[in-house]
Every structure is written in C-alpha cells, then in structure tokens.
Chains A and B, each alone.
Chain A
Amino acid sequence: MNELAKELKAISMDDHIKETSPSKTVLAVKVDDLTVAYNYKPVLWDIDLEIPEGVLMAIVGPNGAGKSTLIKAILGILKPLAGSVTIYGKPYHKQRSLVAYVPQKGSVDWDFPTTALDVVMMGTYGSLGWIKRPGVKEKKAALEALEKVGMLPFKNRQISQLSGGQQQRIFLARALVQDASIYFMDEPFQGVDATTEIAIINILKELRKAGKTVIVVHHDLQTVPEYFDWVTFLNVKKIATGPVMDIFNDDNLTKTYGINYKVSVQK
C-alpha cells in the first residue's frame, strides 16, 4: 500500500512539472445551448461548453446531474431537445473517426459469449464500415491496445471471467484501438482497485501528452487536482468550467453539490 501511495504522489508531482497550459485557440468540442429532457424533466438545461484541445478534463457533479447524459448527447446517442454540438467545428456525424467512447462498464451484459480480444476488435469496426470484416491489421491493432492496458495475457479469456478492473481495461483498450483525437469516458474508475486506477490514469496522461483531448465523468473529488488539468462542474446546468488550478474551489463545489462543501482543496 505504501508503494501505491508513493506512486500516486509521483504521478501528481509529475503532473505539476509537466503542466502545460493547453492552447486555447483550438476548440476540440463546442456545445451550444444544449437541453436534454427525459419525459418532462430536464436533465440538462441550456449547456454551453467549450473544451479546448489537449486537456484532460473531469466532469463532476452529484448523482442525476446529467454527466453521462451530457456525454451521450454530445455523441448523438441521445437526441437533445435543443442545442448543437460541434467537434473541431463540424457536426459530430461528420467527425466520428475523431471520437472514441468508453461507456459505463455496467451498460453491457458481460456474460455475452465473446472474448477480451474480440471486444477490443470492436473498436476497429467503425473505421471498417459496413460488411467489411476485420483482418490482420485490425487484429494487430487490438493486440497492441491490449498490451498497452496490460491485458495481453487475458486476450482469449471469456469476458465474464474477467474482474471488474479488467473489464474496465478492456473497454479502455477498445477505445484506444479507435485511435481517436477526443476520448469520452463514462466513469472509468468506477469499481476498480488502486492498481487499475493508476494504470488507467497513466494511460489517460499519455493520451494527453500525445495531444489528445480526454473527457472523463469522474466521481472522486479528492483526486481531481491530482489527475486532471481541466474541470467542468455540472448539475443540470453548467456551474463552471476551466483549469483545475483556477476554478476547483470550495465555492464551485458548494454551488454544484448544494451543501457547504468542506473539502479543502490543495493547490
């Protein structure tokens, strides 16, 4: 456990040294006046959001704040009531190849008859298009992604026989295979142990170093300053968005969570 703590600290130190202020001129994602409602209840209300290229951003907010809904609406999984989304200045359906998605682990049936490698291969289906089958090139890409998340020894494992953390890594590998510019991840740290959490955050930081934009729905407020350089507070409406250094404070936390938040934030 001591070693884990050390490594965690090392990660956060590393973060502060290599902190680069992201270029604010290029917008990876732009959301305008987005409103989404389930039945009659608005889940997202008039969201305006600009995500600059190259940030590692957390979306935080209480349960039911619409964090997953925001991602799903951006990706076109849900139809918004109003508003528009652009990816690098163009509508999403023209920019699909630039975007990868890691859904919540619980959103699929892990007893589905397939193997880890097979699931990761699914990441190549989008670039293949209709009917064409994955070949040698796609398999190679999938194996490389498995290697990156440390799951190569489990490639032929039936997915139900993987632990929760391993399943999460498989989902991550599937998104890595897409080789996108923007990654959306819905609670990738949910129900994983400390080792997996470190493995995942290291991969996310690598992605950012490579100039990718990573947007993560996140629940653990304590780790926000350690892991992320950009943050969006969300509770049906957008409360605030910007660099963690500037806006991750008790004031915004209180506005978002509705109670007087006592977490003192280290800067």
Chain B
Amino acid sequence: MNLQEYFSLVFSDYTLRTITLGTAILGAVTGMLGSFAVLRKQSLLGDAISHAALPGIALAFLITGAKDSNTLLIGALVSGLLGTFWIRGIISKTHLKSDTALGLILSLFFGFGMLLLTFIQKQPNANQAGLDKYLFGQAATLVESDVWLMAIITGICVLVMLLFWKEFKLLLFDADYTKTLGFNTKFIDILITTFIVLAIVLGLQTVGVVLMSAMLLAPAAAARQWTNSLSKMVLLAAIFGAFSGVFGTAISASQDNLSTGPVIVLVASVFVIFSFIFSPSRGLLFRQIRFIKNRSDLQLQKTLSFMYHIAETHENISHPHTIKILNNFQGFTRKSLQKLVDKNYVTIDGTMWSLTKEGFETAANLYNQNIKKDE
C-alpha cells in the first residue's frame, strides 16, 4: 500500500479510519498541552513522564497477565503520576535543580522498566510478545475503544482548559503574582500536570515511550514561531500535532508497518524546521532578509544625510550641487543615488543633484525618528 492508496482508503476502510482518527486526536491534545509545557520551560517533563510510565506497563502485565491496552495504560498512568510527583518532590525538598531531578527519575524508571521487560521476555509462556511495541509505538494496534477513550479525555481536557484559561495563562506568565491574587497555584499546577500525564499515557501505544515527548514539544515549538497570542499558539499547536499524527501514521502504515513513533516525530520535526525558517516574524529567512534590507536602507540614509548637511548650508535647499562631491563619501554608488531619485528625495540634472523638499524633510527627521521609536 502506498500513501495515495492510504488516503483514498482512509474514509472507507474501518481500520485505517480508526487509526487515523486516533493519531489525529492524540496529536491535537498533545500539541495543546505541549504549549503549556514549553511556555513553562518544562519541556523535559514530558520525556520524564513517558519514560516513567514503562515500569507501570510491565508491572501491570506481570500482575494481571492481561495484555489489553486499557489495563496496561492504567499501569502506565500510575507509574507516570508517581514519577511526576516524585520529581516535584525532589525539586521542592532538595537543592537539586529541575533538570537533574528530571534526568534522575527518567533514567531510574526507564532502567527499571527495561529490566522488567527483559524479565518478562524470558518467561516461558508465549503471551508476552508485543509488550516491546510500547517502546516505539505501533499505531496499527489502535482499536475503536482506544480512540473513544482518547476522544473523551481530549474533550474533558479542552473543557477544563476553556474553563480555567485565565488561570492557566496567569500561572504560565507569572506564578508568584498568581499567588498574591489569591489563586491556589498548586491546584492549577496539578491540573495542568495531570492532563499532561494523561495525554502522554494515551500516546504511549501509538508513539511509544522513547519519543513521546517530541509529540509534546515539536508542535508547540513550531506554533510559537507563527503567533504572539497564547490562544492562537495553542490552536496552531493542536493543528500541527494532528497533522503530524495523521501523516506519520499514514507513512508508517503504508510502508510495511514501520514503527509509528519515529515517523510521527520526523513529520513533526519537518513542521518545526519549516517554521523556524519561514515564519514571518521569527523565522531565520525573513530575519536575514530584514537585515539585508535594513543595511541597504542605512546606506541610503547615510547618503541622504550627507546631502542634507550640504544642502543645509544653502538658503535654497534645492540648490543644485555636483555629483562629484558625493564621491568623497563612502557608500555612495550610482545605484543608491538612483534609489533616492526613485523615492523622490533627490532630483538629478546632468551631473548635478539637488534635494527635493520631501528629501530634505526626511533627512532632517532621520535621527528624530530613531528617538521616537525608542520611547
């Protein structure tokens, strides 16, 4: 099956539709919540949570012997929450910085989880096969009930976000100030964190433990490039996330069931790279273009202000002068002179130039304008 077939089948084929819908919802909810994580500078939290979920999956299997995703995800949820609150505890009770705490818990839980996985694989019964798909994810294993679960949790998440939007924004921007206004910052914080844990746990089956954090970060990082409004950023991140999910799944499903996680993450990275280069206000490309334009503007301004200082000494500002005297001035070229003529700042008559009234006024205000801008 190639990509084209995939998209032509997506609306008619039940399995494909389920998988696509599932990854779209997943991408949207992680993108949304990822915006909060990125703005709180808790980008690594997602990584820690997803890795912390692994031993939960393994233990849930060992205890119940069941392999259905719901049982395993409850295990993941419990150990994910445990890891998260352990991290919070370490940060608030010790001198350790948050990156150290995150790294510690991440590797501790992941190491323990891997140990359990190897132990499970050595068990004699044949039931254990397939647990390792939680490492890199396999969207093809999604069934309708999984998608329903995702949709319900995403729905609740959107509802809570709309309800507490004001509080979320306030906490993200200025936590201390939020406290002085009388809001219980701990409650808001736990609310956000719990939803992040939920979203990550939901995504483990599809994207896997190892790369799940990218689902949280990539759409949000890309979205930040395009807007200066929090609500637009969250919306855009949801859209980017959903598209990454759908395209990633499509590619992975059409190419002989590649692991979905890496493919989705690669697609999301394309969004990030594109945004970093082409965003109009923050992108590298337009910043470079603006830089070059500013430089050539400055060149013109230099020439214009030089002309101004000459014209200033004459009563008639449009008194013609010979072009030759400009040659002493660095930065003067025929081209820049022509540009000034185009802007109607200067008129040229043979080898003589003279400032127009407009040019004179512009030149006189060159420096004042800069001061005004700074105010």
Contacts and interface: CB of A to CB of B under 8 A. Distances in A.
Contacts of B179: 75-77
Contacts of B41: 109
A103 B174 contact: yes
Interface residues of B, number: 29
B67 interface: no
Contact of B173 (A77, A122, A131, A158): A122
Given A77-B180, A103-B174, A122-B173, 15 more contacts: A75-B179, A76-B180, A101-B176, A107-B174, A107-B176, A108-B173, A112-B39, A113-B228, A114-B229, A122-B169, A122-B170, A122-B174, A125-B166, A132-B166, A133-B166
B356 interface: no
Nearest to A196: B375
Nearest to B182: A96
A134 interface: yes
Interface in A66-114: 72, 75-77, 93, 96, 99, 101, 103, 107-109, 112-114
A101 B39 contact: no
A73 to B, nearest CB: 12
Contacts of A26: none
A93 B227 CA distance: 37
A131 B176 contact: no
B167 interface: yes
A208 to B, nearest CB: 21
B228 A101 contact: no
Interface in B74-126: 95
Contacts of A93: 182
Given A128-B166, A134-B166, A112 B172 contact: yes
Given A113-B228, A114-B169, A103 B177 contact: yes
Interface string A106-138: 011100111100010010011010111110000
Contacts of A128: 166
A263 B361 CA distance: 49
Contact of B228 (A115, A125, A130, A133): A115
Contact of A113 (B170, B181, B227, B375): B227
Interface in B23-77: 39, 41
Interface of A: 39, 72, 75-77, 93, 96, 99, 101, 103, 107-109, 112-115, 119, 122, 125-126, 128, 130-134, 158, 163, 195
Nearest to A107: B176
A74 to B, nearest CB: 10
Interface string B163-190: 1111101101110110111110000000
Contacts of B174: 103, 107-108, 122
Contacts of B181: 96, 125-126
B133 interface: no
A163 B373 CA distance: 10
Given A93-B182, A113-B230, A125-B170, A72 B176 contact: yes
Contacts of A39: 95
Given A107-B176, A163-B374, A113 B166 contact: no
Contacts of A108: 173-174
B233 interface: yes
Interface string B197-240: 00000000000000000000000000010011110110000000
